[in-house]
Amino acid sequence: MNDPHTVPTDTPRTPTSRRVSPWWRALAIVLLLALMLGWAASASLYEQLKAQIGHLQAKVANVPQIRHIAVLLDDQGAAAMLVTMDPQAGVLQLQRLNEVKEGREDSMQLWAVKDGQAPRSLGVIESKFKTLQLPAQEAALAGVAELAISVEDKGGVPEAQGPRLPWLFKGALVHKAI
């Protein structure tokens, strides 16, 4: 039984080393650092994205949301006045597109024209500047088909009196679908 080629089973084995190679430790540390850097970078990018979205939402909230628009034409069919409605600000924005101005003793007055009803005054244009604003609520334009401008005595006329005709400028009011 003492065969030189056979290993005796009752011989104690030498314990193998349980230490990890230093290369594996270094690789594990490098990978852990890379993982931590990746996590920190993604967290930073996420916060930057959230900040950008918040900033853009604030900018969009401040942009006028035009829902009603009219181009008023003169008697030759040329564009004379652009009227837009910003319901957030509660104003009608008027922009003169020609050089027509009211006289010393005259005022221009803006009217809402509904089919089959008397015109309703939306305000007197008191500024001679190219752009101006008139306070108005969106409900004032509900069901209105046209906007028109008349020339009235200085300061305008009461709504009950009605406009002096013919209209100076007149145009269809477009209600924008949102």
User: What pLDDT, on the 0 to 100 scale, is given for residue 6?
Assistant: 61
Same domain, 163 and 113: yes
End-to-end Cα spacing for the chain: 99
Same domain, 112 and 29: no
Q: For the whole prediction, is pTM greater than 0.95?
A: no
Same domain, 47 and 88: no
Tell whether 152 is covered by a domain: yes
- Domain total in the chain: 2
Tell whether 6 is covered by a domain: no
Domain that holds residue 169: 68-175
User: What pLDDT, on the 0 to 100 scale, is given for residue 13?
Assistant: 65
User: What pLDDT, on the 0 to 100 scale, is given for residue 7?
Assistant: 57
Same domain, 127 and 162: yes
Tell whether 10 is covered by a domain: no
Tell whether 7 is covered by a domain: no
pLDDT one digit per residue (tens) for the chain, 178 residues: 556 666 556 666 666 667 888 899 999 999 999 999 999 999 999 999 999 999 998 888 777 677 889 999 998 989 999 999 888 888 899 999 988 777 777 888 899 998 888 899 998 888 778 888 888 888 888 889 999 999 888 888 887 788 877 888 999 999 877 6
Distance CA(63)–CA(141), nearest Å, equals 21
Same domain, 59 and 136: no
